[in-house]
Amino acid sequence: MTGFDERFLTRNGLAARQLAVLLLNHEPDTRLPRVRDFAEELGVGNGTVQAALQLLETAGAIRTTARGHLGTFLVHSDRSVLWRLSGLGTLLAAMPLPYSHRYEGLATGLRAAFEQAGAPFAITFMRGAGARTTALIEGKVDLVVLSRFAADRLIEERPVELVADLGPATYVGAHGLLLRHGAALEAKGLRVAVDHASEDQRMLAERVFAGRTDIEWVEASYMQLRDLFAHDRVDATLWNLDEVQDRLGAGVDVLPLGDEVTRDLSLRNSSAAIIGRTEGAKALGAVRDSLDLSVITTCQAEVLRGERAPSY
């Protein structure tokens, strides 16, 4: 079915479109719910459900077979057709600006995984986890990519839920403590760069320098760090090393992070998480179980090794 079929504007057709959403969560060679169960969930009659299933078969979206007392089984489903009929539209994901190969690889993997899942997918790039989450809550995007560290906090505070955790080193490679050469961490009035648009960087910086009432916080983005260090305007910061690699010059030392708590926070910060709205997100449920996370991480690793050109 290449165009829109007017049969899907009828009563039976509307039920078929609702069924398409439900069937996106069923894998081939699995038993389908009974007709009366579908009817109860959709609030229609059994005959309407049977007609809707027939419409989906005619459209090439599904193929079923009856196996006697075992029930009706889904033999085949074309997820791209089901998705188009469902009316869920294109999923829009917001993620950080693709300034590093790691983010380029992540974007490449996300596109490949969603295409494999049969879901139309697009990416918009937005700086700052807070800005991305606001866009999610307001319904401007369907999914948000951020660190697991930031996701955990947002899940506690906002009506969002975790869709996937991609594991360590998928969001950032590592964080380090950046110190201007010749500066002492213990010095009073230490000038520390912080980016309040980045929830991850801010929370990590505040944890590293917790208890220091003498700190002078300097608002800065990663693009400003080289000049700030070179012109002696900041002494230290904690930052994603993917961002600053080869960009800071010889006058900045990179130190390992300190205590176990900070290392744990940095580990969660390195893991990419995908979150979505808790309520009213049918599209979220439709892709959750069919999304192959290994496709994302494999593509990202290939981009990082230079074996695959970024494509997003």
User: How large is the average pLDDT for residues 78-95?
Assistant: 88
Express each pLDDT in 236-270 by its tens digit: 998 878 777 667 777 899 888 766 656 666 677 78
Evaluate whether 91-171+271-305 and 175-268 have a shared fold: yes
Pick the range with the lowest mean pLDDT from 33-47, 66-80, 239-253, 266-280.
239-253
pTM for this model (two decimals) = 0.73
Is there a contact between 143 and 94 (Cβ–Cβ < 8 Å)?
Answer: yes
For the chain, domain boundaries: 6-85, 91-171+271-305, 175-268
Is there a contact between 252 and 181 (Cβ–Cβ < 8 Å)?
Answer: yes
Spell out the CATH class of 91-171+271-305: alpha beta
Spatial CA neighbour of 114 closest among 84, 80, 87: 80
Q: How large is the C-alpha radius of gyration of the chain? A: 24
Q: What is the C-alpha to C-alpha distance for residues 130 and 301, in angstroms, rounded to an integer?
A: 27
Spell out the CATH class of 6-85: mainly alpha
Q: What is the mean pLDDT of the chain?
A: 87
User: How large is the average pLDDT for residues 57-73?
Assistant: 91
Express each pLDDT in 15-24 by its tens digit: 999 899 888 8
pLDDT exceeds 70 at position 281: no
pLDDT interval class at 299 (50, 70, 90) = very high
Report CA-CA distances (Å) from 132 to 92, 125, 190.
11, 9, 31
Express each pLDDT in 155-183 by its tens digit: 999 999 998 999 988 998 878 899 999 99
Say how many C-beta atoms besides its own lie within 10 A of residue 20's C-beta: 27
pLDDT exceeds 90 at position 191: yes
User: How large is the average pLDDT for residues 51-56?
Assistant: 94
Q: Residues near 38 by Cβ (< 8 Å), separated by ≥ 6?
A: 19, 22, 32, 49
Q: Phi first, then psi: what are they for 253, rounded to 5°?
A: -95, 145
User: How large is the average pLDDT for residues 108-120?
Assistant: 90
Q: What is the C-alpha to C-alpha distance for residues 231 and 2, in angstroms, rounded to an integer?
A: 61
pLDDT interval class at 92 (50, 70, 90) = very high
User: How large is the average pLDDT for residues 278-302?
Assistant: 81
Share of the chain above pLDDT 90, in %: 49
What is the token pair recorded at 42? 């959709």
CATH of 175-268, one of 3.30.1330.50, 3.40.630.10, 3.40.190.10, 3.10.20.30: 3.40.190.10
Burial 38-57 (b: 16+ CB within 10 A, else e): bbeebebeeebbebbbebbe
pLDDT exceeds 90 at position 228: yes
